[in-house]
Amino acid sequence: MATIRAVIRKKKNKAGQLPIAIRITKDRKSTFLNTGQYIDEKFWDAKNRNVRKSHPNAKVLNNFILTKVAEANDKVLKSEMKPEYETVAEIRNKIIEKKGFDFFTVANMHLQNLKNRNKHHQYDTEFGRLKKFKEFLGKDTLPFNKLNVATLKRFETHLLHQKKLSPRTVVNYLILIRTIYNLAISESITDRGLYPFGKGRMIIKIPESLKIGFTAEEIQKLENAKGITEAQQKAIHIWLISFYFAGIRIGDVLKLKWSDFYDGRLLYRMNKNSKLVSLKTPKKAIEIFDTYKNDLDDNGLIFPQLKGVNLNHSEEVSKRTQSITRNLNRRLKIAAKHLGINKNISMHIARHSFGNISGDKIPIQMLQKLYRHSSVTTTIRYQANFIHKDADEALDSVLDF
């Protein structure tokens, strides 16, 4: 027969308070249900297993605890009446599952949060990933107690070997699932005891990605491009502007306005994280901008690609930017081939190219500022792809004999 008790656990939160939990014990094995409530240890009556009257909300908390104990007792009694044996873990899992709140219900909450924050591109990407997860499972519902390490491992194998996705892309799927699980925990929809991620469970390891940027000579080929179409030339202009301003993202380049420039500086707010940026306007960038001065847009945009788009409608801008980026990348590839550049090219390669050429010439703190990274650690990891001098010299010191 299982027993149910209200207890406090010893792991304190940031405020120094202890969590109130419901302990279920069966066959000398115990499991705990978090109630989401915390109190100072001095307010807990261990003998009577309730909150002392000296606590300002003692009556409300004790009624809450009684309700939780009663709910657990009800589930335990029903379990004991069944002919098949249930472990304490199985009983616990049934108790914590909230009716109607499975993984995909919380996934919809996550997607709605993205929409509310105007993260439309991320919404589209993650909507597609969740659709593939549903297709893999063959169903539209997934209780959290069924989302275990075995399921995640099978899904990982499916993406790698059946769908032929890259390891980095597969990691993105797993990170999305983990994010949704964390949301469910934060909303008290499921319990951390079921959490399938972390040490001894499903560990997400981000594989090192190969970032290859252009050399100065290859960029000069783009700057001096001849024999290409007007559409290809405009694509190169946008790519170069991104490069000249330390790899600003395509969405920000397309939304650049003449009014963003003051006293020879670019002042704008990044779309990705809303950070304010102030950068000197290089002479090479001014030369490109001068070619667009006669094509004034009603919105004051420098480049014409977003002409006619309502810039205040974030979803419309996001979808249009995705379409424009695909077209620009296609034209860049054709132009690069014509110019004798054999490396892959896309708008994002402009950012890699800035990193490649800067190498170890610029202090890491300055690069952090130019890249607009929130953490210098991110900058160090990013720039490690392009700093080869020390390794090259070390190799030469051994082989040059």
Give me the pLDDT at residue 93, please.
67
For residue 151, count CB atoms less than 10 angstroms from its CB and return exposed for 0-12, middle for 13-18, buried for 19 or more. middle
Q: Please provide residue 202's backbone torsions phi and psi, each rounded to the nearest 5 degrees.
A: -95, 110
Q: Which fold has domain 216-355?
A: hpI Integrase; Chain A (1.10.443)
Q: Is 213:343 a contact under the CB 8 Å cutoff?
A: no
> What pLDDT score was predicted for residue 16?
85
Q: Where are the beta strands (DSSP E) in 191-294?
A: 261-262, 265-269, 276-280
> Rounded to whole angstroms, how far apart are CA atoms 168 and 171?
5
Phi/psi of residue 39, nearest 5 degrees: -145, 165
Q: Which residues contact 369 (CB under 8 A, 6 or more apart)?
A: none
Assign a CATH topology to domain 103-194. Answer: DNA polymerase; domain 1 (1.10.150)
pLDDT at site 79 = 74
**Residue spans in the chain of domains classed CATH 1.10.443.10:** 216-355
H or E stretch including 88?
A: helix 88-96
**With a threshold of 0.85, does the pTM exceed it?**
no
Within the chain, all domains assigned CATH 1.10.150 are found at 103-194
Rounded CA gap, 375 and 382, in Å? Answer: 11
> Residue-wise pLDDT tens for the chain (401 aa)?
778 899 998 888 877 889 898 888 888 888 888 777 888 999 999 999 999 999 988 898 899 899 888 888 887 887 777 777 777 777 776 665 555 578 999 999 899 988 888 888 899 999 999 999 999 999 999 988 889 999 999 999 999 999 999 999 999 999 999 999 999 888 777 877 789 999 889 999 988 767 788 888 999 999 999 999 999 999 999 999 999 988 888 998 999 999 988 888 988 776 655 667 788 899 999 999 999 888 776 678 999 899 888 888 888 988 999 999 999 999 999 999 999 999 999 998 988 888 888 766 777 777 777 766 677 776 667 666 666 566 566 666 666 66
The per-residue pLDDT for 207 is 82
Q: How many CA atoms lie within 13 A of 80 on its CB side?
A: 12
Report the C-alpha gap between 24 and 5 in whole angstroms.
7
